[in-house]
A = this chain, B = another copy of it.
């Protein structure tokens, strides 16, 4: 495992077309997966949702980490700016090229913006993306697609304890893994 490399990968996630109440929970799952799997910032388009932002901030308050969340009006200007800032734009779509085929190439990048769609993704996203990437070519879930993508980009770093190269969230709440039941330490 190449910890040094994954340590320096700057991962940002853009969730497209958030709608209320329909996407309330799915977008929250997208955001929490982004955080737990190593992203440092989350942006979303569609409807502004203070509840979504609060959820993410509450999780960071309790469980640590410094992931930011911001609402953006235009995905095109956001993606254009990310590209100008040196981000490699990876759009997840079941129609794209297989993740396993492109992962070695993507892992060489220092800055990646992962774009996660909702029901209808505007055509220009496919054009603006540096890579259109599929996590299987079967219909399933943008939450799962994001998790598997970040898992592959960081060499499964989300599963490692901090002392083995995993993310150190440094939250006031911390779980002590247990065979049965729940053990939470409040520091």
Binding site for B on A (CB under 8 A): 22-23, 25-26, 29, 32-33, 35-37, 59, 63, 93-100, 123, 126-127, 132, 134-141, 143-144, 146-148, 151, 156, 158-161, 169, 174-175, 177-184
Which residues of chain B are within 8 angstroms of A180 by Cβ–Cβ distance? 126-127, 132
In the bound assembly, the distance between CA atoms of A73 and B56 in angstroms comes to 34
- Give chain A's interface secondary structure class: mixed
Are the C-beta atoms of B183 and A63 separated by less than 8 Å?
no
- How many copies of the shown chain assemble into the complex? 2
In the bound assembly, the distance between CA atoms of A138 and B161 in angstroms comes to 11
A137 to chain B, nearest CB (A): 4
In the complex, given contacts A25-B25, A140-B147, A147-B147, what are 19 additional A-B residue pairs having Cβ atoms less than 8 angstroms apart?
A23-B25, A29-B29, A29-B140, A29-B144, A32-B138, A32-B139, A32-B140, A36-B139, A95-B181, A96-B178, A97-B177, A97-B178, A99-B159, A126-B180, A137-B174, A138-B158, A141-B143, A143-B144, A147-B148
Can you sample 22 A-B contacts with CB below 8 Å?
A: A29-B141, A29-B143, A32-B138, A32-B139, A36-B140, A37-B136, A37-B140, A63-B139, A95-B175, A95-B178, A95-B182, A96-B179, A97-B178, A97-B179, A98-B177, A99-B159, A100-B159, A137-B174, A138-B169, A140-B147, A143-B143, A151-B151
